[in-house]
A and B are shown apart, each in its own frame.
With several copies, the nearest count.
Chain A
Amino acid sequence: MVKKFLNDPKNFVVEMLEGIIAAHPRQLAYVADDVHCIVKAGERQPNKVAIATGGGSGHLPLFLGYVGEGLLDGCAVGDVFQSPSAEQMLEVTKAIDAGAGVLYIYGNYSGDIINFDMAAEMADMEGIRVESVIAADDVASAPKGEEGKRRGVAGIFYVYKCAGAMAAEGGTLEEVKRIAEKACANVRTMGVALTPCIVPEVGTPGFEIGEDEMEIGMGIHGERGIRRGPLRTADEIIDEIMPQIVDDLPFVQGDEVSVLVNSLGATPKEELYILYRRVSQILGEKGIRVFNTYVGEFATSMEMAGASVSLFRLDDELKRLLCKPAHTPFFVQPQL
Protein backbone atom coordinates (compact mmCIF):
# COMPACT_ATOMS: atom_id res chain seq x y z
CA MET A 1 0.00 0.00 0.00
CA VAL A 2 1.33 3.40 -0.95
CA LYS A 3 1.08 5.70 2.06
CA LYS A 4 1.61 8.90 0.14
CA PHE A 5 -0.09 12.21 -0.42
CA LEU A 6 -0.92 11.85 -4.08
CA ASN A 7 -3.54 12.63 -6.63
CA ASP A 8 -3.26 10.74 -9.90
CA PRO A 9 0.26 9.26 -9.73
CA LYS A 10 0.70 10.21 -13.38
CA ASN A 11 0.61 13.87 -12.35
CA PHE A 12 3.04 13.49 -9.46
CA VAL A 13 5.90 15.43 -11.01
CA VAL A 14 3.86 18.14 -12.67
CA GLU A 15 1.79 18.82 -9.54
CA MET A 16 4.91 18.88 -7.39
CA LEU A 17 6.50 21.40 -9.74
CA GLU A 18 3.35 23.51 -9.81
CA GLY A 19 3.41 23.50 -6.02
CA ILE A 20 7.04 24.58 -5.95
CA ILE A 21 6.46 27.42 -8.37
CA ALA A 22 3.35 28.50 -6.46
CA ALA A 23 5.26 28.45 -3.18
CA HIS A 24 8.32 30.36 -4.35
CA PRO A 25 7.26 32.75 -7.09
CA ARG A 26 9.86 35.36 -6.15
CA GLN A 27 12.67 32.84 -6.43
CA LEU A 28 11.80 30.37 -9.17
CA ALA A 29 10.19 30.50 -12.59
CA TYR A 30 9.93 28.22 -15.59
CA VAL A 31 10.53 28.70 -19.29
CA ALA A 32 9.34 27.29 -22.61
CA ASP A 33 5.87 26.94 -21.14
CA ASP A 34 7.16 23.79 -19.47
CA VAL A 35 7.18 23.53 -15.70
CA HIS A 36 10.03 21.01 -15.97
CA CYS A 37 12.32 23.82 -17.15
CA ILE A 38 13.10 25.66 -13.92
CA VAL A 39 15.18 28.83 -13.80
CA LYS A 40 16.06 31.41 -11.20
CA ALA A 41 13.45 34.17 -11.20
CA GLY A 42 14.43 37.71 -12.06
CA GLU A 43 16.96 39.37 -14.29
CA ARG A 44 20.03 37.57 -15.62
CA GLN A 45 23.26 39.09 -14.38
CA PRO A 46 25.05 40.08 -17.59
CA ASN A 47 28.20 38.11 -18.32
CA LYS A 48 27.86 35.84 -15.33
CA VAL A 49 28.64 32.23 -16.17
CA ALA A 50 25.39 30.33 -15.85
CA ILE A 51 25.20 26.90 -14.22
CA ALA A 52 22.57 24.35 -15.10
CA THR A 53 21.82 20.99 -13.61
CA GLY A 54 19.19 18.39 -14.20
CA GLY A 55 18.07 14.93 -13.31
CA GLY A 56 15.14 12.84 -12.29
CA SER A 57 12.50 13.79 -9.74
CA GLY A 58 12.19 12.21 -6.35
CA HIS A 59 15.39 13.53 -4.83
CA LEU A 60 14.40 16.91 -3.41
CA PRO A 61 16.13 19.16 -2.68
CA LEU A 62 18.11 17.69 -5.59
CA PHE A 63 18.19 19.01 -8.22
CA LEU A 64 16.10 22.12 -8.59
CA GLY A 65 16.46 22.98 -4.91
CA TYR A 66 19.91 24.33 -5.60
CA VAL A 67 18.70 26.93 -8.10
CA GLY A 68 19.06 30.33 -6.47
CA GLU A 69 21.42 33.06 -5.30
CA GLY A 70 25.02 31.93 -5.08
CA LEU A 71 24.23 28.54 -6.53
CA LEU A 72 22.67 27.44 -9.82
CA ASP A 73 20.77 29.29 -12.53
CA GLY A 74 18.57 26.58 -13.93
CA CYS A 75 17.49 22.98 -13.77
CA ALA A 76 15.76 20.58 -16.14
CA VAL A 77 13.52 18.25 -14.19
CA GLY A 78 12.71 14.72 -15.30
CA ASP A 79 10.09 12.22 -14.24
CA VAL A 80 10.73 10.23 -11.09
CA PHE A 81 14.23 8.77 -11.35
CA GLN A 82 14.28 9.63 -15.08
CA SER A 83 16.44 12.07 -16.93
CA PRO A 84 14.78 15.17 -18.34
CA SER A 85 14.91 15.39 -22.11
CA ALA A 86 17.69 17.00 -24.08
CA GLU A 87 15.17 19.49 -25.38
CA GLN A 88 14.23 20.58 -21.85
CA MET A 89 17.90 20.96 -21.00
CA LEU A 90 18.35 23.07 -24.10
CA GLU A 91 15.46 25.35 -23.14
CA VAL A 92 16.99 25.91 -19.72
CA THR A 93 20.39 26.50 -21.29
CA LYS A 94 19.03 29.14 -23.65
CA ALA A 95 17.12 30.88 -20.88
CA ILE A 96 20.04 31.18 -18.47
CA ASP A 97 22.94 31.90 -20.79
CA ALA A 98 24.07 35.47 -20.17
CA GLY A 99 26.75 35.49 -22.80
CA ALA A 100 29.50 33.92 -20.70
CA GLY A 101 28.60 30.31 -21.35
CA VAL A 102 26.86 27.58 -19.39
CA LEU A 103 28.32 24.90 -17.17
CA TYR A 104 26.37 21.66 -16.79
CA ILE A 105 26.91 19.96 -13.44
CA TYR A 106 25.08 16.69 -12.98
CA GLY A 107 25.37 13.18 -11.64
CA ASN A 108 27.00 10.25 -13.36
CA TYR A 109 23.97 8.43 -14.73
CA SER A 110 23.88 7.22 -18.30
CA GLY A 111 20.44 8.66 -19.05
CA ASP A 112 21.51 12.09 -17.89
CA ILE A 113 24.84 11.91 -19.69
CA ILE A 114 23.27 10.93 -22.97
CA ASN A 115 20.71 13.72 -22.76
CA PHE A 116 23.10 16.40 -21.54
CA ASP A 117 25.51 15.46 -24.33
CA MET A 118 22.68 15.81 -26.82
CA ALA A 119 21.68 19.14 -25.28
CA ALA A 120 25.26 20.40 -25.37
CA GLU A 121 25.46 19.59 -29.09
CA MET A 122 22.20 21.42 -29.67
CA ALA A 123 23.33 24.43 -27.61
CA ASP A 124 26.56 24.53 -29.55
CA MET A 125 24.53 24.81 -32.74
CA GLU A 126 22.80 27.82 -31.18
CA GLY A 127 26.15 29.43 -30.44
CA ILE A 128 26.13 28.86 -26.67
CA ARG A 129 29.35 27.69 -25.09
CA VAL A 130 28.69 24.70 -22.86
CA GLU A 131 31.03 22.73 -20.63
CA SER A 132 30.12 19.74 -18.47
CA VAL A 133 31.27 18.39 -15.13
CA ILE A 134 29.95 15.07 -13.88
CA ALA A 135 29.81 14.31 -10.17
CA ALA A 136 30.70 10.73 -9.24
CA ASP A 137 31.26 10.71 -5.50
CA ASP A 138 29.75 7.41 -4.38
CA VAL A 139 32.66 5.19 -3.36
CA ALA A 140 30.35 2.20 -3.02
CA SER A 141 29.49 2.14 -6.69
CA ALA A 142 32.88 1.27 -8.20
CA PRO A 143 36.33 0.60 -6.81
CA LYS A 144 39.22 3.02 -6.73
CA GLY A 145 40.77 3.18 -10.17
CA GLU A 146 37.34 3.06 -11.79
CA GLU A 147 36.12 6.40 -10.43
CA GLY A 148 34.54 7.16 -13.79
CA LYS A 149 31.95 4.47 -13.17
CA ARG A 150 30.81 5.85 -9.84
CA ARG A 151 27.35 7.25 -9.25
CA GLY A 152 26.83 10.83 -8.25
CA VAL A 153 25.04 11.23 -4.93
CA ALA A 154 24.80 13.79 -2.13
CA GLY A 155 28.37 15.05 -2.57
CA ILE A 156 27.25 16.98 -5.63
CA PHE A 157 26.02 19.57 -3.14
CA TYR A 158 29.63 20.66 -2.58
CA VAL A 159 30.24 20.87 -6.32
CA TYR A 160 27.22 23.11 -6.78
CA LYS A 161 28.13 25.21 -3.78
CA CYS A 162 31.71 25.97 -4.78
CA ALA A 163 31.05 26.36 -8.49
CA GLY A 164 28.02 28.54 -7.74
CA ALA A 165 30.09 30.79 -5.52
CA MET A 166 32.79 31.05 -8.17
CA ALA A 167 30.26 31.99 -10.83
CA ALA A 168 28.71 34.58 -8.48
CA GLU A 169 32.16 36.07 -8.03
CA GLY A 170 32.45 36.59 -11.76
CA GLY A 171 34.66 33.65 -12.67
CA THR A 172 35.00 32.68 -16.32
CA LEU A 173 33.52 29.46 -17.68
CA GLU A 174 36.97 27.87 -17.45
CA GLU A 175 37.41 28.99 -13.85
CA VAL A 176 33.99 27.81 -12.78
CA LYS A 177 34.59 24.50 -14.50
CA ARG A 178 37.97 24.14 -12.81
CA ILE A 179 36.37 24.70 -9.41
CA ALA A 180 33.60 22.20 -10.15
CA GLU A 181 36.17 19.61 -11.16
CA LYS A 182 38.28 20.35 -8.13
CA ALA A 183 35.26 19.96 -5.87
CA CYS A 184 34.44 16.63 -7.54
CA ALA A 185 37.99 15.48 -6.98
CA ASN A 186 37.76 16.26 -3.27
CA VAL A 187 34.43 14.77 -2.28
CA ARG A 188 33.55 11.18 -1.37
CA THR A 189 30.26 9.71 -0.21
CA MET A 190 28.81 6.45 0.98
CA GLY A 191 25.30 5.57 2.05
CA VAL A 192 23.20 2.93 3.77
CA ALA A 193 19.58 2.16 2.98
CA LEU A 194 17.11 0.64 5.43
CA THR A 195 13.94 0.59 3.35
CA PRO A 196 13.05 0.89 -0.31
CA CYS A 197 10.99 3.68 -1.80
CA ILE A 198 8.04 3.67 -4.11
CA VAL A 199 7.93 5.27 -7.56
CA PRO A 200 4.36 6.65 -7.55
CA GLU A 201 3.58 5.48 -11.05
CA VAL A 202 4.78 1.96 -10.28
CA GLY A 203 3.05 1.84 -6.91
CA THR A 204 5.18 -0.88 -5.31
CA PRO A 205 8.80 -0.84 -4.17
CA GLY A 206 11.24 -1.65 -6.96
CA PHE A 207 13.18 -3.83 -4.54
CA GLU A 208 12.90 -5.19 -1.04
CA ILE A 209 15.10 -4.95 2.00
CA GLY A 210 14.36 -7.60 4.61
CA GLU A 211 12.62 -6.62 7.85
CA ASP A 212 15.87 -6.68 9.79
CA GLU A 213 18.29 -5.89 7.00
CA MET A 214 20.17 -2.91 5.69
CA GLU A 215 22.05 -2.39 2.44
CA ILE A 216 25.44 -0.76 2.63
CA GLY A 217 26.23 1.32 -0.40
CA MET A 218 22.81 1.39 -1.99
CA GLY A 219 22.29 4.07 -4.63
CA ILE A 220 19.66 6.77 -4.55
CA HIS A 221 17.46 4.92 -7.02
CA GLY A 222 17.76 1.71 -5.08
CA GLU A 223 20.74 0.46 -7.07
CA ARG A 224 22.28 -2.42 -5.19
CA GLY A 225 25.14 -1.65 -2.91
CA ILE A 226 28.18 -3.46 -1.64
CA ARG A 227 26.70 -5.69 0.97
CA ARG A 228 23.36 -6.59 2.42
CA GLY A 229 23.22 -7.78 5.96
CA PRO A 230 21.47 -7.63 9.29
CA LEU A 231 20.76 -4.16 10.59
CA ARG A 232 23.55 -3.11 12.91
CA THR A 233 23.87 -0.33 15.44
CA ALA A 234 24.44 3.24 14.33
CA ASP A 235 28.04 3.16 15.53
CA GLU A 236 28.79 -0.14 13.82
CA ILE A 237 27.39 1.15 10.54
CA ILE A 238 29.53 4.28 10.69
CA ASP A 239 32.53 2.16 11.67
CA GLU A 240 31.97 0.15 8.51
CA ILE A 241 31.47 2.95 6.01
CA MET A 242 33.90 5.59 7.30
CA PRO A 243 37.11 3.70 6.40
CA GLN A 244 35.81 3.19 2.89
CA ILE A 245 35.27 6.93 2.50
CA VAL A 246 38.42 8.03 4.30
CA ASP A 247 40.78 5.56 2.64
CA ASP A 248 39.47 6.25 -0.82
CA LEU A 249 40.66 9.79 -1.38
CA PRO A 250 42.50 9.24 1.03
CA PHE A 251 41.73 11.78 3.73
CA VAL A 252 44.73 11.96 6.05
CA GLN A 253 45.80 13.44 9.35
CA GLY A 254 45.91 17.21 9.14
CA ASP A 255 43.28 17.46 6.44
CA GLU A 256 40.43 19.84 7.02
CA VAL A 257 36.99 18.73 5.86
CA SER A 258 33.38 19.70 5.64
CA VAL A 259 31.01 16.85 6.52
CA LEU A 260 27.56 16.23 5.10
CA VAL A 261 25.24 13.74 6.81
CA ASN A 262 22.31 13.30 4.49
CA SER A 263 18.94 11.67 5.05
CA LEU A 264 17.68 9.59 2.15
CA GLY A 265 14.20 10.75 3.05
CA ALA A 266 12.40 9.08 5.92
CA THR A 267 15.27 8.96 8.37
CA PRO A 268 14.72 11.72 10.92
CA LYS A 269 17.30 14.29 11.96
CA GLU A 270 17.57 12.69 15.39
CA GLU A 271 19.17 9.63 13.85
CA LEU A 272 21.41 11.67 11.55
CA TYR A 273 22.93 13.31 14.60
CA ILE A 274 23.46 9.95 16.27
CA LEU A 275 25.35 8.95 13.13
CA TYR A 276 27.30 12.21 13.06
CA ARG A 277 28.35 11.73 16.67
CA ARG A 278 30.32 8.64 15.66
CA VAL A 279 31.62 10.27 12.46
CA SER A 280 33.09 13.11 14.49
CA GLN A 281 34.69 10.68 16.94
CA ILE A 282 36.38 8.79 14.12
CA LEU A 283 37.60 11.95 12.41
CA GLY A 284 38.91 13.15 15.76
CA GLU A 285 40.84 9.91 16.22
CA LYS A 286 42.33 10.23 12.75
CA GLY A 287 43.37 13.84 13.25
CA ILE A 288 41.11 15.09 10.47
CA ARG A 289 39.70 18.48 11.42
CA VAL A 290 36.05 19.31 10.77
CA PHE A 291 35.52 22.83 9.48
CA ASN A 292 31.74 22.66 9.37
CA THR A 293 28.88 20.21 9.16
CA TYR A 294 25.69 19.95 7.14
CA VAL A 295 23.05 17.61 8.55
CA GLY A 296 19.68 17.10 6.93
CA GLU A 297 18.11 16.31 3.59
CA PHE A 298 20.35 17.20 0.69
CA ALA A 299 19.76 14.33 -1.75
CA THR A 300 16.88 11.97 -1.09
CA SER A 301 15.00 9.04 -2.55
CA MET A 302 11.53 10.12 -1.55
CA GLU A 303 10.50 8.16 1.53
CA MET A 304 13.48 5.80 1.63
CA ALA A 305 14.88 5.33 5.13
CA GLY A 306 18.65 5.59 5.10
CA ALA A 307 21.51 8.02 5.23
CA SER A 308 24.78 8.91 3.58
CA VAL A 309 27.98 10.51 4.78
CA SER A 310 30.06 12.78 2.54
CA LEU A 311 33.50 14.18 3.29
CA PHE A 312 34.76 17.19 1.38
CA ARG A 313 38.44 18.05 1.64
CA LEU A 314 39.06 21.77 1.85
CA ASP A 315 41.90 23.97 0.80
CA ASP A 316 41.88 27.75 1.12
CA GLU A 317 40.15 28.25 -2.18
CA LEU A 318 37.38 25.69 -1.69
CA LYS A 319 36.85 26.84 1.88
CA ARG A 320 36.48 30.46 0.81
CA LEU A 321 33.90 29.46 -1.78
CA LEU A 322 32.06 27.13 0.58
CA CYS A 323 31.70 29.98 3.07
CA LYS A 324 29.97 32.31 0.62
CA PRO A 325 26.30 32.97 1.24
CA ALA A 326 23.64 31.21 -0.78
CA HIS A 327 19.89 31.42 -0.89
CA THR A 328 17.40 29.15 -2.59
CA PRO A 329 13.94 28.00 -1.47
CA PHE A 330 15.56 24.80 -0.20
CA PHE A 331 18.95 25.90 1.08
CA VAL A 332 20.01 29.05 2.84
CA GLN A 333 23.43 29.82 4.18
CA PRO A 334 24.76 33.09 5.50
CA GLN A 335 28.39 34.02 4.94
CA LEU A 336 30.27 31.61 7.22
Chain B
Amino acid sequence: MNALDVDAVKSILTRLKQVMDDERDRLIELDQAIGDGDLGLAMTKAFTAAAEEADASEETLPGKLLMRAGMVIAKAAPSTMGTLVATGFMRGGKAVGEAEAIGPGELAAFWRAFVDGIMQRGKTQLGNKTIVDSLHPAAEALEEAAAAGKSLAEALADAAAAARKGNEAAKMMQSQHGRAAVFRDQTIGKEDGGAYVGVLLIEAFAAQAAG
Protein backbone atom coordinates (compact mmCIF):
# COMPACT_ATOMS: atom_id res chain seq x y z
CA MET B 1 0.00 0.00 0.00
CA ASN B 2 1.67 3.19 -1.17
CA ALA B 3 -1.38 5.42 -0.75
CA LEU B 4 -4.12 5.96 1.80
CA ASP B 5 -7.63 5.55 0.50
CA VAL B 6 -10.76 6.56 2.35
CA ASP B 7 -10.82 3.32 4.34
CA ALA B 8 -7.24 3.81 5.41
CA VAL B 9 -8.12 7.32 6.59
CA LYS B 10 -11.04 5.87 8.48
CA SER B 11 -8.81 3.42 10.27
CA ILE B 12 -6.31 6.19 11.05
CA LEU B 13 -9.09 8.20 12.68
CA THR B 14 -10.29 5.15 14.60
CA ARG B 15 -6.73 4.43 15.67
CA LEU B 16 -6.34 8.05 16.80
CA LYS B 17 -9.37 7.70 19.04
CA GLN B 18 -7.70 4.70 20.66
CA VAL B 19 -4.38 6.49 20.93
CA MET B 20 -5.90 9.55 22.59
CA ASP B 21 -7.88 7.42 25.01
CA ASP B 22 -4.67 5.60 25.95
CA GLU B 23 -2.69 8.81 26.23
CA ARG B 24 -5.43 10.79 28.00
CA ASP B 25 -3.82 10.77 31.42
CA ARG B 26 -0.36 11.51 30.07
CA LEU B 27 -1.72 14.50 28.12
CA ILE B 28 -3.52 15.76 31.20
CA GLU B 29 -0.27 15.49 33.13
CA LEU B 30 1.80 17.31 30.53
CA ASP B 31 -0.79 20.07 30.26
CA GLN B 32 -1.07 20.32 34.05
CA ALA B 33 2.64 20.97 34.35
CA ILE B 34 2.64 24.06 32.14
CA GLY B 35 -1.02 24.60 31.24
CA ASP B 36 -4.46 23.93 32.59
CA GLY B 37 -4.60 20.18 32.35
CA ASP B 38 -7.44 19.80 29.90
CA LEU B 39 -5.50 18.60 26.89
CA GLY B 40 -6.33 14.95 27.50
CA LEU B 41 -10.02 15.73 27.69
CA ALA B 42 -9.92 17.84 24.54
CA MET B 43 -8.08 15.24 22.50
CA THR B 44 -10.26 12.31 23.56
CA LYS B 45 -13.35 14.36 22.72
CA ALA B 46 -11.85 15.44 19.42
CA PHE B 47 -11.01 11.99 18.18
CA THR B 48 -14.04 10.25 19.60
CA ALA B 49 -16.02 12.64 17.43
CA ALA B 50 -13.73 12.17 14.44
CA ALA B 51 -13.89 8.37 14.73
CA GLU B 52 -17.67 8.46 14.95
CA GLU B 53 -17.76 10.66 11.90
CA ALA B 54 -15.42 8.26 10.07
CA ASP B 55 -17.58 5.33 11.05
CA ALA B 56 -20.82 6.94 9.94
CA SER B 57 -19.51 8.78 6.90
CA GLU B 58 -20.37 7.73 3.36
CA GLU B 59 -17.65 10.02 2.00
CA THR B 60 -15.61 8.27 -0.69
CA LEU B 61 -12.76 10.74 -1.05
CA PRO B 62 -10.07 10.74 1.67
CA GLY B 63 -9.56 14.53 1.48
CA LYS B 64 -13.25 15.16 2.02
CA LEU B 65 -13.31 12.81 4.99
CA LEU B 66 -10.32 14.57 6.53
CA MET B 67 -12.11 17.91 6.11
CA ARG B 68 -15.23 16.48 7.75
CA ALA B 69 -13.09 15.19 10.60
CA GLY B 70 -11.79 18.73 11.10
CA MET B 71 -15.29 20.11 11.19
CA VAL B 72 -16.54 17.68 13.82
CA ILE B 73 -13.40 18.20 15.90
CA ALA B 74 -14.03 21.96 15.87
CA LYS B 75 -17.44 21.33 17.36
CA ALA B 76 -16.45 18.64 19.78
CA ALA B 77 -13.22 20.05 21.17
CA PRO B 78 -13.04 23.79 20.98
CA SER B 79 -9.90 24.15 23.14
CA THR B 80 -6.80 25.73 21.67
CA MET B 81 -5.44 22.41 20.53
CA GLY B 82 -8.84 21.14 19.43
CA THR B 83 -9.51 24.12 17.22
CA LEU B 84 -5.96 24.15 15.85
CA VAL B 85 -6.08 20.45 15.02
CA ALA B 86 -9.53 21.01 13.50
CA THR B 87 -8.14 23.83 11.39
CA GLY B 88 -5.27 21.55 10.38
CA PHE B 89 -7.55 18.75 9.21
CA MET B 90 -9.80 21.17 7.32
CA ARG B 91 -6.93 22.90 5.54
CA GLY B 92 -5.06 19.64 4.97
CA GLY B 93 -8.15 17.90 3.63
CA LYS B 94 -8.73 20.78 1.27
CA ALA B 95 -5.12 20.51 0.03
CA VAL B 96 -5.63 16.83 -0.75
CA GLY B 97 -8.54 17.91 -2.89
CA GLU B 98 -10.30 15.31 -5.06
CA ALA B 99 -7.51 12.72 -4.95
CA GLU B 100 -8.82 9.16 -4.75
CA ALA B 101 -5.96 8.18 -2.52
CA ILE B 102 -3.20 9.94 -0.64
CA GLY B 103 0.26 9.12 -1.92
CA PRO B 104 3.52 10.58 -0.63
CA GLY B 105 3.02 13.82 -2.57
CA GLU B 106 -0.52 14.39 -1.36
CA LEU B 107 0.54 13.49 2.12
CA ALA B 108 3.27 16.15 2.08
CA ALA B 109 0.73 18.67 0.82
CA PHE B 110 -1.70 17.60 3.53
CA TRP B 111 0.75 18.12 6.38
CA ARG B 112 2.17 21.32 4.90
CA ALA B 113 -1.35 22.81 4.74
CA PHE B 114 -2.09 21.36 8.18
CA VAL B 115 0.83 23.07 9.84
CA ASP B 116 0.44 26.31 7.86
CA GLY B 117 -3.19 26.46 8.95
CA ILE B 118 -2.20 26.06 12.56
CA MET B 119 0.48 28.75 12.31
CA GLN B 120 -1.98 31.17 10.76
CA ARG B 121 -4.84 30.50 13.20
CA GLY B 122 -2.50 30.40 16.20
CA LYS B 123 -0.52 33.44 15.03
CA THR B 124 2.67 31.55 15.68
CA GLN B 125 5.74 30.05 14.06
CA LEU B 126 8.49 27.54 14.71
CA GLY B 127 10.30 27.81 18.02
CA ASN B 128 7.46 28.84 20.33
CA LYS B 129 7.10 25.42 21.97
CA THR B 130 3.85 24.37 20.37
CA ILE B 131 2.49 21.61 18.18
CA VAL B 132 4.16 23.44 15.31
CA ASP B 133 7.55 22.35 16.61
CA SER B 134 6.78 18.70 15.99
CA LEU B 135 4.57 19.01 12.94
CA HIS B 136 6.67 21.47 10.98
CA PRO B 137 9.75 19.19 10.85
CA ALA B 138 7.43 16.31 10.03
CA ALA B 139 5.96 18.19 7.08
CA GLU B 140 9.45 19.03 5.86
CA ALA B 141 10.54 15.42 6.17
CA LEU B 142 7.51 14.35 4.14
CA GLU B 143 8.33 16.86 1.42
CA GLU B 144 11.92 15.64 1.25
CA ALA B 145 10.88 12.00 1.24
CA ALA B 146 8.32 12.63 -1.49
CA ALA B 147 10.92 14.49 -3.56
CA ALA B 148 13.33 11.60 -3.02
CA GLY B 149 10.68 9.15 -4.21
CA LYS B 150 10.46 7.24 -0.95
CA SER B 151 7.51 4.95 -0.23
CA LEU B 152 4.61 6.13 1.90
CA ALA B 153 5.76 3.96 4.79
CA GLU B 154 9.33 5.22 4.53
CA ALA B 155 8.19 8.80 4.21
CA LEU B 156 5.99 8.49 7.29
CA ALA B 157 8.73 6.73 9.23
CA ASP B 158 11.00 9.71 8.46
CA ALA B 159 8.22 12.12 9.39
CA ALA B 160 7.56 10.36 12.70
CA ALA B 161 11.27 10.48 13.51
CA ALA B 162 11.36 14.18 12.62
CA ALA B 163 8.29 14.85 14.75
CA ARG B 164 9.83 13.05 17.72
CA LYS B 165 13.04 15.00 17.24
CA GLY B 166 11.09 18.23 17.01
CA ASN B 167 9.22 17.35 20.16
CA GLU B 168 12.52 16.65 21.92
CA ALA B 169 13.94 19.98 20.75
CA ALA B 170 10.80 21.78 21.90
CA LYS B 171 11.48 20.66 25.45
CA MET B 172 14.29 23.17 25.69
CA MET B 173 12.17 26.00 24.29
CA GLN B 174 10.26 28.56 26.30
CA SER B 175 6.47 28.69 25.85
CA GLN B 176 5.21 31.86 24.23
CA HIS B 177 1.50 31.16 23.96
CA GLY B 178 -1.52 30.45 26.05
CA ARG B 179 -1.44 29.38 29.64
CA ALA B 180 2.05 28.03 29.38
CA ALA B 181 3.47 31.45 28.51
CA VAL B 182 3.01 32.77 32.03
CA PHE B 183 5.43 30.15 33.37
CA ARG B 184 8.12 31.65 31.19
CA ASP B 185 11.50 30.04 31.83
CA GLN B 186 9.94 27.45 34.12
CA THR B 187 8.64 25.83 30.94
CA ILE B 188 12.19 25.19 29.74
CA GLY B 189 13.05 21.54 30.09
CA LYS B 190 9.42 20.46 30.18
CA GLU B 191 7.64 18.63 27.39
CA ASP B 192 4.89 20.54 25.57
CA GLY B 193 1.64 18.62 25.41
CA GLY B 194 0.74 20.10 22.04
CA ALA B 195 4.06 19.14 20.48
CA TYR B 196 3.51 15.62 21.81
CA VAL B 197 0.06 15.55 20.21
CA GLY B 198 1.81 16.35 16.93
CA VAL B 199 3.95 13.24 17.39
CA LEU B 200 0.88 11.11 18.09
CA LEU B 201 -0.85 12.36 14.94
CA ILE B 202 2.08 11.57 12.68
CA GLU B 203 2.70 8.22 14.35
CA ALA B 204 -0.89 7.16 13.76
CA PHE B 205 -0.45 7.82 10.05
CA ALA B 206 2.90 5.99 10.12
CA ALA B 207 1.41 3.00 11.93
CA GLN B 208 -1.31 2.75 9.31
CA ALA B 209 1.22 2.91 6.46
CA ALA B 210 3.49 0.40 8.18
CA GLY B 211 0.78 -2.05 9.19
Contact = CB atoms under 8 A, between A and B. Distances in A.
Direct contact between A and B judged by beta carbons closer than 8 A: yes
Interface string A115-144: 101100000000000000000000001100
Contacts, number: 78
A24 B38 CA distance: 31
Q: Give the interface size class of chain A.
A: 20 to 34
B78 A110 contact: no
A329 B183 CA distance: 37
Interface stretch (B8-16, B101-109, B173-181, B199-207): B173-181
Contact of B179 (A79, A117, A202, A223): A223
Given A86-B83, A206-B32, A110 B178 contact: yes
Contact of A221 (B36, B74, B183): B36
B38 A114 contact: no
Contacts of B75: 85, 87
Contacts of B32: 206-207
Contacts of A221: 36, 179
A84 to B, nearest CB: 6
Contacts of A85: 74-76, 78, 83
A81 B37 CA distance: 10
Interface string A187-209: 00000000000010110001100
Given A110-B177, A115-B83, A78 B78 contact: yes
Given A87-B74, A87-B75, A117 B182 contact: no
A111 B181 contact: no
A327 interface: no
Contacts of A117: 121
B182 A201 contact: no
Nearest to A82: B79
Contacts of A199: 37-38
Q: Give the interface size class of chain B.
A: 20 to 34
A109 B38 CA distance: 13
B19 interface: no
A223 B82 CA distance: 20
Contacts of B41: 79, 82, 201-202
Contacts of B178: 109-111
Nearest to A76: B78
B80 interface: yes
A115 B183 CA distance: 23
A149 interface: yes
A84 B36 contact: no
Interface string A61-89: 00000000000000000110111111110
A71 to B, nearest CB: 24
A81 B38 contact: yes
Contacts of A111: 78-80, 82-83, 178
Contacts of A114: 80, 83-84, 121-122
Contact of B42 (A82, A115, A149, A222): A82
Interface string A96-121: 00000000000001110011011000
20 contacts: A78-B78, A81-B38, A82-B79, A83-B78, A83-B79, A83-B83, A86-B74, A88-B78, A110-B80, A111-B79, A111-B82, A114-B80, A115-B78, A202-B37, A202-B41, A206-B32, A206-B37, A219-B179, A221-B179, A224-B182
Closest 6 CB pairs of A and B: A110-B178, A85-B78, A111-B80, A206-B37, A110-B80, A221-B36
